[in-house]
Structure 1
Amino acid sequence: MLSNIKKTNLLINRLNENKLYIYTANFNVFYVFCPKQKFSIEANYPLAISNGFEDVNGIVDASIKYRFAEGELFKYGASFTFDYLKEKLPFNYQDLDKDYFFYHVNGFTEMTIPSAEKIHPFVGVGFTYVICKYEYFNSMDHLFDIAETEKEKNPGFNFKLGIQYDFTNSFFVQSYFHYIRSFYKSRFNNETIGINYNQVKFGIGFRF
């Protein structure tokens, strides 16, 4: 009888040890794949560099990122980025405004370099939606010109390649090349034409 009780207690202890191992393993998996600082916000200055796009003035680039998985060297997430750039088109006695609004939805990967943990190369790829708002003159009876506004909305895709440097665990600076390709249909022959709006961006960010 006493022997059976000892066997039962031994079995219970082993079951408890197995439960503790399972809980610990589950916690470790959760710790590895769920980053502590899931979100970050970024503010950048966009510098236009594509041919025919150099005279456009960058106003602001703003992003929000969410990191949903993390390994030993890599973090994975999704981001939303908004760009605003502006151009002045000289026309006779008045400058005409042309505004560019870019909306980017991306997946991204960040890397931690073991020998330089403050440096994080990153890459992203995703979809782009461009709204171009511009003014033009409409002549009425050839007596005077009236400036009117029109919008063009075009889809596209984008690719990011850059690097971040951490000043603290939360605050960082960054720079990246942003390849942006948009497509629109010509009004003359209905042909689809691709346009590059490539930019180099410099900015700061905060993780939380």
Structure 2
Amino acid sequence: MRLRIIVILLIFFTIKSFSQDSKFSIDANYPIAIGDNFLGQNYNGLVDLGAKYKFSDNKIVDIGASINFGIFQNTKSGATAMNQLFDVKIFPIQPRIFAEFNIQNLKKLHPQIGLGYSIIIYDAVWRENTNADLPSDINNNENGFNFNIGLFYDLTHKLFLQAQYDFIKIGVEDGIPDKSYNTNINILKFGIGYRI
């Protein structure tokens, strides 16, 4: 599955790289989970990769679609990690529609707002599988609404810096308390992007 996605993206990047006036961009970010929630309290961001395509390009606002793939790793270490039975990685996938605003007096600065849907994939692997009744790994998905705001600064015609904030509201499974600690995710992202 992952190989298919990579091949499709590479084909798309190659086709778009030959066009004269591409509306496509890619970016790499450092994600930081913040706030009083399960992600902010227990996980460190490793990387967030994104791709954007603008459907329309005009003087006031550009409309487009984007997708981001992130990786977060459990922060437990030392004695705390020894008491934990499994290692966990979280992979947020965030497709969205966005509006990027063009400010005539500040041509290098581009505020953005986006709405989408996030899929949170959990990948948990047991540290020691001493009990034959335990599965070798635990995988689970959750999903929910995603709200994004961002600010982009053009370094050159192709290269830009960006800062983004994502709010994700996920649903919870039966037996998990429906509290903001379990349902509200806040992520800051700082990175660099390239227009192809």
Instruction: Report TM bin, short chain.
Output: 0.7 to 0.9
The C-alpha deviation readout for 1:142-169, integer Å capped at 9, x for no partner, is xxx9784201111212111010000111
* Partner in structure 2 of residue 45 of structure 1: 30
* Partner in structure 2 of residue 78 of structure 1: 65
Partner SS for 1:57 = strand
Q: Tell whether the 8 Å contact from 1:47 to 1:201 is kept in structure 2 after alignment.
A: yes
Q: In 2, Cα distance between the equivalents of 1:153 and 1:138?
A: 22
Q: In 1, Cα distance between the equivalents of 2:83 and 2:147?
A: 39
Number of corresponding residues: 169
Amino acid at match of 2:73: K
* Partner in structure 1 of residue 172 of structure 2: 184
Greater strand percent: which structure?
A: 1
1:140 equivalenced with 2:131 (yes/no) = yes
Give the share of equivalent positions with the same residue, in percent: 32
TM-score (norm. length: structure 2): 0.76
Deviation at 1:104, TM superposition (A): 1.0
Q: In 1, Cα distance between the equivalents of 2:178 and 2:158?
A: 44
Listed as ranges, the gaps of 5+ residues in structure 2 are 1-19
Q: Which residues of 2 match residues 197-208 of structure 1 at below 5 A?
A: 197-208=185-196
Name the structure, 1 or 2, with higher relative contact order (CA <8 Å, separation 6+): 2
Deviation at 1:36, TM superposition (A): 3.3
Q: Tell whether the 8 Å contact from 1:64 to 1:79 is kept in structure 2 after alignment.
A: yes
Q: Tell whether the 8 Å contact from 1:129 to 1:153 is kept in structure 2 after alignment.
A: yes
Q: Which residues of 2 match residues 25-64 of structure 1 at below 5 A?
A: 36-51=21-36, 52-54=38-40, 55-64=42-51
Q: In 2, Cα distance between the equivalents of 1:207 and 1:133?
A: 32
* Partner in structure 2 of residue 162 of structure 1: 150
The C-alpha deviation readout for 1:17-41, integer Å capped at 9, x for no partner, is xxxxxxxxxxxxxxxxxx9331000
Q: In 1, Cα distance between the equivalents of 2:92 and 2:156?
A: 30
Q: Tell whether the 8 Å contact from 1:158 to 1:181 is kept in structure 2 after alignment.
A: yes
Listed as ranges, the gaps of 5+ residues in structure 1 are 1-34
Q: In 2, Cα distance between the equivalents of 1:114 and 1:197?
A: 34
* Partner in structure 1 of residue 138 of structure 2: 150
* Partner in structure 2 of residue 174 of structure 1: 162
Q: In 1, Cα distance between the equivalents of 2:82 and 2:27?
A: 39
The C-alpha deviation readout for 1:60-116, integer Å capped at 9, x for no partner, is 111111111122111110111111111144343677311101111100011111111
* Partner in structure 1 of residue 113 of structure 2: 123
* Partner in structure 2 of residue 87 of structure 1: 74
Partner SS for 1:205 = strand
TM-score (norm. length: structure 1): 0.72
Amino acid at match of 1:53: L
1:67 equivalenced with 2:47 (yes/no) = no
Q: In 2, Cα distance between the equivalents of 1:94 and 1:157?
A: 30
Q: In 2, Cα distance between the equivalents of 1:171 and 1:113?
A: 18
* Partner in structure 2 of residue 6 of structure 1: none
